[in-house]
Amino acid sequence: MAKSIFQRIIDRELPAKIAYEDDLCLAIHDINPQAPVHMLIFPRKPLARIADAGKDDQALLGHLLLTAARVAQAVGLDESGFRLVINSGRDAGESVPHLHVHLLGQRRLGWPPG
Ligand code: AMP
């Protein structure tokens, strides 16, 4: 299977603004931001989407969420708030088949989402 864009960023084949990385995941700035802060947190493990995750991925999924919250704090969103989004599949608008958490903030976000 062809490498996803995010796998190519992990492998340093594509440039990205990397805000954070550790042994399990990376946080980068979205190339097409939908809010003043729009970052993506994704695992090094090439899981296509949350719907494909299994019991073995439980700790990894927890790590992604905690990392997203820490990154949000690091960019000063803890007071104002932020939103985490995971798109899974066609109806959700998933466009990159490599699991990622969107971190959005620094503006009022509408609800329900579009
Ligand atoms: P989704 O639609 O949930 O799969 O989200 C994919 C996200 O990846 C979109 O917000 C894109 O703007 C973003 N994106 C695509 N290519 C890149 C890239 N090379 N660097 C950073 N973000 C990207």
Query: Per residue in 64-82, pLDDT tens?
Result: 999 999 999 999 999 999 9
Nearest Cα residue to 70 out of 78, 59, 62: 78
pTM of this structure: 0.98
Report the residue among 29, 31, 47 best suited for mutation to probe ligand 1: largest number of ligand atoms under 8 A from its CB.
31
Q: What is the pLDDT of residues 85-104, one digit of tens each?
A: 999 999 999 999 999 999 99
Give the H or E element holding residue 72: helix 58-74
Bridge partners, residue 82, by sequence: 105
Q: What is the pLDDT of residue 21?
A: 98
From the CB of 8, is ligand 1 less than 6 Å away? no
Q: What is the pLDDT of residue 114?
A: 84
Residues recognised as catalytic: 100
The helix, strand and coil proportions of the chain, stated in percent and rounded to the nearest 5, come to 30, 20, 50
- Domains assigned to the chain: 5-105 (3.30.428.10)
How many whole angstroms separate alpha carbon 58 and alpha carbon 2? 25
